[in-house]
Amino acid sequence: MRRGALMFGAWGLWVGAWVITLWIWGEALVPLLAFGAAAAGAALAAGYMVVTGGPGDPPRTLSESSTGPPVTAAGVVLAANGLAFGLWLVLIGAELVAFGLGLVIAESRRARSG
């Protein structure tokens, strides 16, 4: 875990060095922001890994199948298409998203209760 943090840290520093070079060379704000965010993201990931260091995740129950993901994704796709075709499709999509998330929550509860 710590060595993983080191990889992210090294990557963040490396990108950060190029961000500073770009800044010194005098680039516009949007490229600097996007590029700086990438360096900051890598540094944050490294920090997160240091804070949550130690062994990997504990054993977990893995589901064989789940209805929630395809239903939720169908909802998101319909709602996003609704942005082009009208509010009615957004609402149908939103209902499917809610239904799909409900399925995922129910499945997770069932798995936890054994």
Partner 1 sequence: MTTIAPPMPRPGPAEWVLATDHKRTAARIAVAAFAFFIASGVLALLMRSELAQPGLQIVSTDTYNQLFTMHGSGMIYLVITPLALALGLYFVPLQVGAADVVAPRLTAFGFWLYLGGGLTMYSGFLTSTGAGKAGWTAFYPLSGEQASPGPGMDMWIVGVALAVAGMMIVAATILLTLIRQRAPGMDITRLAPFSWSMFFTCAMTVTSFPVLIVAMGLLFADRNLGPIFDTPGGPATYQNLFWFYGHPVVYIMFFPFLGVVADVVATFSRRRLFGYPFLVISLLAFTGLSMSVWAHHMFATGQVNNEYYSLTSTALAIPAGVEYFDVIATMIGGAVLLRTPMLFALGFLSLFLIGGLTGIVVGSPPLDYHVHDTYFVVAHFHYTLFGGSMMGAFAAAYYWFPKVTGVMLREWIGKLQFALLFIGVNLTFFPMFLLGYDGMPRRVADYAPEAGFTGNNRLATIGAYVIALGIAAFIANLVVSLRRRESAGDDPWEGQTLEWATSSPPPRLNFSGLPPIRSYAPLLDLREARKDEG
Spell out, one character per residue from 9 to 28, where the chain touches partner 1: x when CB under 8 A holds, - when not.
-xx--xx--xx-xx--xxxx
Residues 68, 2: Cα–Cα separation, whole Å: 35
Residue 44 sits in the site that holds partner 1 (CB under 8 A): no
Residue 85 sits in the site that holds partner 1 (CB under 8 A): yes
Among 51, 56, 87, 113, which residue interacts with partner 1 (rule: CB under 8 A)?
Answer: 56
Q: Which amino acid is at 69?
A: P
Q: Give CA separation, 21 vs 17, 18, 35, in Å.
A: 6, 5, 11
Residue 99 sits in the site that holds partner 1 (CB under 8 A): no
